[in-house]
Each structure stands twice: as C-alpha cells, then as structure tokens.
Amino acid sequence: MAAIVEARTLSSSLKILSKKCPVISFVCSKRLRHDDSSAEQSYDIVIAGGGMVGTTLACALANNRRLESKKILLLEASNKFSYTPQEKYSNRVVALNKNTRILLSSIGAWKHIESVRHTPVRKMQVWDACSDAMITFNEDHLEEDLAYIVENDLLLHAVDTILSGKNSVKIINNAKIDDIILSNTTGADSRLHLESGESFRTKLLIGADGHKSRVRQAMGAKYVDWDYGQMGIVATVQLSEPTENIVAWQRFLPTGPVALLPLTSSLSSLVWSMTTEEAKRLLKVTEEEFVDNLNDALWKSFPKDTIVDGAMKGLTKLLDDLQLQNGATRQLQPSISHIVEGSRAAFPLGFGHAVKYVQPGVALVGDAAHRVHPLAGQGVNLGFGDVTALVQVLGDAVENGAIVSDEAYLNKYESMRQWNNIPTMLAIDALHRLYKGTATPIVLARSLGLQLTNAIKPLKV
C-alpha cells in the first residue's frame, strides 16, 4: 500500500512540474510513450520513406506470393499523394532501364504508365566538346529500346494505384519520425516513434528515406560522401523543329554534361550540370538568355588541341585499316527554341555511399544507401535494383523457414547490391572527374578511349 501511495505521489508531482516546466513535460511524456509497449502497433516490415523506391518496395513485397502474408507499414513524411494527368509535362523525369521496366511490369504498374504516356529511347549519342570523340549506342538496332523516359509523378501514381489494392500494406502520410530504437539483435523488434505520438514495433525496418536517411543515422553506418559543388538544372524544352525524337543526347562540357531526353516529337527534358554559382545565375536570367546559353552548350565549338586532333586522326586511320569502323555517323543534335514556362528548377549534386546496407533487423535501399551524379541516369535504377534483390532475398528467407530479419539473408542482400552498385558508382564518379579536366593528356586519353570503345562493339555492351 505504501508503494502505491508513493507512486501516486510521484505521479502527481510530475504532473505539477510538467505544467510549470515544458521541458520536463516533453521529456516525461516522451519517456512514458517510449516505455509504453502496450500502445505500440506491431508489423513484420516497416518501410520509412514512400517515394518511388519505397512505394515500389512495399508493392513488390505485397505482390510476392511468399511474402503476401506479411504485415507491412509504409511511412511517408509528406501529404497523401494525388495525381491528375496533365497535358503539360513535369520537369522531373527518370530514364528507366529494362530491368526496372521488368520490375514495374511484374507488380502490374507498367500498364498504368503505358496507359498515360512514356517515351522510349532507341539511340544514344555522347560526344566530347573538347575533341571530335563520339560514341553512339544502338546505332544498328533502332527498333530496340535502350531506356524509357517517365515522369516521376506518373511512376509514383502507377505504383500507388497497385498498392491501394494490397490489404497487407498500411500507409501513413505526414509520418514524421521522432525516434528510432534499433534492436541490434537478430529476432528482436526495432521500435519507431512518430511526432504524432504513434509508436510501432517491427521485425525488419527498411530505410528508403533518401540521402539524409534517419534510418541510416540510427544505424550509425559510416557514410562516405562529398559535394560536387554543382547543381543540375532541369526544364522542359521546346525543340526548334519537330523530329522523330528517339535519341538521348549528352555532350560533355568542361563545366559539366548537358543532356536532352526525348518526350514528344517537339519536347525534350533537359538535365544540365554546372557549378552551383552558374546554375543560380541561369535560374534568374530571362528565358531568351537561358535558351541562348543552352544552345551554346549544345553547339558551341571549343578550341581543339593540335596534339589531340592529330592523335584522333591517327586512330581513325588505324581503325579503318583494321576494318574496325562500325559505320556510326554523327547525327546533328537539335536546337532549342524556348523552354516551357515554369519548368526551370535545380537540385544539388553529390556522391554518397553507406559502407553497410544492413545490420540485425534493418536494411537500406535507394538513396538512403547510395547517391550518384545524374550524368549516367542510373541513380533511381540502382534503387530499383535494390528493391528486386531485397524482395528476392526476403522471399527466400521465408520460404526456407527463416524470419524476415534473419542476418544471413540480409547480408546476402548487401553483398549482391554492393557488388553491383560500387563499381557502377565509382565508374560514374570517374567519368565526372575525367570530363572536368581540360589538360591535353586528359583530353587525349578520354578521346582515344571513347573513340576506341565506339569502334569495338563488345566494349559498348
């Protein structure tokens, strides 16, 4: 009885102090909420982050016959997503590769993209502004698709439409994570607490919450990152003349690459990388001045180094003597007449990679695990590759009688993805650094390498 009276007295004292001191009130309420396990909802899998990768992951997990019985929670920090088809194209698009299309088709989302719009890329032409070096892809097989240009919002709409029919997945919007307590022990539950006061327990927590991932921070995983000191300007641009527009164009400038991705016969999507200072300037100039600068980036002739020029001519003759020329011819890039009003925007560019993608009861996917320069258009495809691998591994775990947080299976996922992601990321970073250089030896090396790769078809695969 004395203990009960003492507890009630302590409780009353805390209430009085809480009213007088907001800090004590916050600490006490947070501590009590974290300790009140009876108020926590339990899930097999919780996904933090409902962007393109996180939502696709939730859908793929629910769609997998081996995992369809698992109770899944998707936490999204923003408002409930809504999509209304519009004639005007969004300035935020992705270039999806064939593997990503296969993933989206397997969960039933691709048909919803096809029913609205997407644009196939059937050829790619990449060239160096400082030399005559050029490489083309799919020159002889224009009926094959290299990639598919899809608006971010449309892709998210397609996946969200499929997800809405999955009873095993609950979605909470405006879900701001207040605290994460990881289990650090195989089989034990991790715990999440939202600013709204809701609390959850889960066997497996998956971080799909972007390059500033709260889940990765909670893991304490070492994160190797750097800022490129660049921004990528995006916009929807009007071509000077209508064309078949099935080509993705990319020109490497000393200041960064400029790329045009096809949308319609007269519209393309621009991705233009440059220094942060120059990007901020170009966001403020008039449309006419912006278009003039863009056409210069696409067409301006830069002084050619005589050593590089002579070496290129020598290589061309050697390849011709060896009958290694593949018949590829330079196709003239389009000019831009104007930009679609309100479509200019920019985002910072950087590199990031988590040394560890997993630990007991937790895994990272997408930008939470890795971030790359957009010059190769591979960022989101790496994330979708994570989705495919993780769903496969978790399905294998359940089929073999293991729990979804089994450390052996999570480690297998990490190995699969790092063997794929790290070489790709390092190659992209190396390309970025290689094409920033203007010294003769650098320009010579990359020009000869590009031209040689273009001539020897197996190297292009």
Residue by residue, DSSP assigns 289-315 as HHHHHHHHHHHPPPPPPHHHHHHHHHH
pLDDT over 90 (residue 455): no
Q: Which fold has domain 41-80+89-459?
A: FAD/NAD(P)-binding domain (3.50.50)
Q: 6-15, 73-82, 260-269, 282-291: lowest mean pLDDT where?
A: 6-15
pLDDT over 60 (residue 27): no
Per-residue confidence (pLDDT) for residue 10, from 0 to 100: 38
Per-residue confidence (pLDDT) for residue 319, from 0 to 100: 64
Per-residue confidence (pLDDT) for residue 5, from 0 to 100: 37
Q: How far apart are CA 183 and CA 186, in angstroms?
A: 8
Per-residue confidence (pLDDT) for residue 8, from 0 to 100: 41
Per-residue confidence (pLDDT) for residue 439, from 0 to 100: 80
Q: For residues 55 and 1, which has the higher predicted lDDT (pLDDT)? A: 55
Section 380-399 average pLDDT: 98
pLDDT tier at 134, thresholds 50, 70, 90: confident
pLDDT tier at 457, thresholds 50, 70, 90: low
Q: How far apart are CA 271 and CA 255, in angstroms?
A: 13
pLDDT over 60 (residue 328): no
Residue in 6, 435, 401, 389 with CA at minimum distance from that of residue 206 = 389
pLDDT tier at 12, thresholds 50, 70, 90: very low
Section 194-220 average pLDDT: 97
Section 302-319 average pLDDT: 72
Section 54-78 average pLDDT: 97
pLDDT tier at 113, thresholds 50, 70, 90: very high
Burial 10-49 (b: 16+ CB within 10 A, else e): eeeeeeeebeeeeeeeeeeeeeebeeeeeebeebbbbbbb
Per-residue confidence (pLDDT) for residue 19, from 0 to 100: 44
pLDDT over 90 (residue 110): yes
Q: Is 331 helix (H, G, I), strand (E, B) or coil?
A: coil
Read off the pLDDT of residues 168-190 as tens digits, 9 standing for 90 and up: 999 999 999 999 999 877 778 99
Neighbours of 114 (CB within 10 A): 13
**pTM for this predicted structure:** 0.88
Long-range contacts of 217-221 (CB under 8 A, 24+ apart): 218/180, 218/181, 218/182, 218/362, 219/182, 219/356, 219/359, 219/362, 219/364, 221/354, 221/355, 221/356, 221/357, 221/359, 221/364
pLDDT tier at 28, thresholds 50, 70, 90: very low
pLDDT over 90 (residue 96): yes
Residue 359: strand pairing partners:
362
Mean pLDDT, the chain, integer = 87
How many percent of the chain have pLDDT more than 90? 70
Q: For residues 140 and 93, which has the higher predicted lDDT (pLDDT)? A: 93
Per-residue confidence (pLDDT) for residue 146, from 0 to 100: 93
CA dihedral in degrees (348, 353, 354, 357; nearest 10)? 110
pLDDT tier at 308, thresholds 50, 70, 90: low
**Residue ranges per structural domain of the chain:** 41-80+89-459
Per-residue confidence (pLDDT) for residue 137, from 0 to 100: 83
pLDDT tier at 139, thresholds 50, 70, 90: low
Read off the pLDDT of residues 411-433 as tens digits, 9 standing for 90 and up: 999 999 999 999 999 999 998 98
Residue 126 phi, psi (nearest 5): -125, 130
Read off the pLDDT of residues 252-295 as tens digits, 9 standing for 90 and up: 998 999 999 999 999 999 999 999 999 999 999 999 999 999 99
pLDDT over 70 (residue 325): no
